[in-house]
Amino acid sequence: MTRDDARRLDADDPLARFRDAFDLPEGMIYLDGNSLGPPPRAALARLQEAADREWGRDLITSWNVNGWIDAPLRVGGKIAGLIGAKPNEVAAADSTSVNLFKLAAGALGLRPGRRVILSETGNFPTDLYVLEGLARTAGAQLRAVPPDTLLDAIDGDTAVVVLTHVHYKTARRWDMAQVTARAHQAGALMLWDLSHSTGAVAVDLNGANADLAVGCGYKYLNGGPGAPAFLFVAERHQAQIRSPLSGWMGHAEPFAFEDGYRPAGDIRAQLCGTPGVLGMAALEAAVDLQRQADPAAVEAKGQALCDLFIAEVEGRRSGMGVQLVTPRQAPERGLHVSFTHPHGYAVVQALIARGVVGDFRAPDVMRFGFSPLYLSHEEVWRAAEILHEVLATGAWDDEAYRTRAAVT
């Protein structure tokens, strides 16, 4: 493809109108929205309003007057439309890790007598760390198996299967309906981590009959660093599942101030402490923007950008040492593309110095995310060209690019 071809695709792009909704640095090609999305202008404005007027002037009355107390369910209900859930099945709260702990613990309680939490080796490390800690605390067992053996590993001892829908490193995508059905066939529950899915690929939790899910607010949803995460509990489980973090926001009547805990009978029971209002305000504005785009169109454009980048990088590489580790077929992947390179960290740093922002995952993976609402085909074409220049000239081979920062 030529640069002019890419420009023609951009001229016909129905999602191109969203680009101006984001506050992006001039000249930067931002390919790291799978890790931290850029700020929507509306989110910045909403954050300012929430700080200046609601916090600064309305103060404590804002819990009622400005709807702060309802934000976890209100925002969760909006996210529900992006993941194939009912509004009453999703709440925005806490972090992805905390939500994972809560729901995995709840799943163990729904399957008494079963003590195995099943996941895959190579899953996002914090998910495994959280599950390891839960297993130790709850007297359960975390069993992580290679992904190609996972379906056969689900058995009568399995209480819950916990998987990341789109793999954080390779972008490999699990068949949600198939895996969920296999878990149910064995009598187990299914818990999905949607951190690299929501806002990127079309998700249908209820269509797949999923039981539980968690997800991130600051990647493709662009809610800001450390934005509230979200959790999903299928309506059929809400009356029985119990959170191990029985905080006051999960109480049936938080402001009755009873000594004993009496859980709410719906999704509110999965709340715990006071929501972070400013973060919730920014996330809500970002989600409102995301909801204006059809999820199928978002995925289609994102996959086209992935295809373009793969084709351009491989067409130019001429033995430059890069190797694709992301599935080639669109239905088998999310919206980031990963290549390995023996000096991947240095290559990524050289790209960043030239205005192309991707990231690196140890030991050798260069990762590039393709968020469809603000990226153009021409930018993706140009990013591949700059990567080729960095590799062909050996520009990455500089001590400044080899020095590892704390965050890679």
The catalytic residues are 124, 193, 218-219, 367
Rounded to whole angstroms, the Cα distance separating 120 from 157 reads 16
Q: Output 64-73 pairs: Cβ under 8 A, ≥24 positions apart.
A: 68/275, 68/277, 68/280, 71/275, 71/277, 71/280, 71/281, 71/284, 72/228, 72/249, 72/271, 72/275, 72/280, 73/267, 73/268
Closest alpha carbon to 98 in 247, 264, 283: 247
Instruction: Find tokens 């099943």 and name the residue.
Output: 118
Q: Residue 153: which H helix or E strand, with range? A: helix 150-153
User: Distance from first CA to last CA of the chain, Å, rounded?
Assistant: 31
Rounded to whole angstroms, the Cα distance separating 278 from 261 reads 28
Residue environment code for 290-300, b if the CB has 16+ CB neighbours within 10 A, otherwise e:
beebebeebbb
Instruction: List residues bridging with 342 in a β-sheet.
Output: none
What lies within 8 Å, CB to CB, of 300 at 6+ separation is none
Instruction: List residues bridging with 251 in a β-sheet.
Output: 263
Q: How distant, in Å, are the alpha carbons of 27, 91, 177 from that of 350?
A: 16, 40, 41
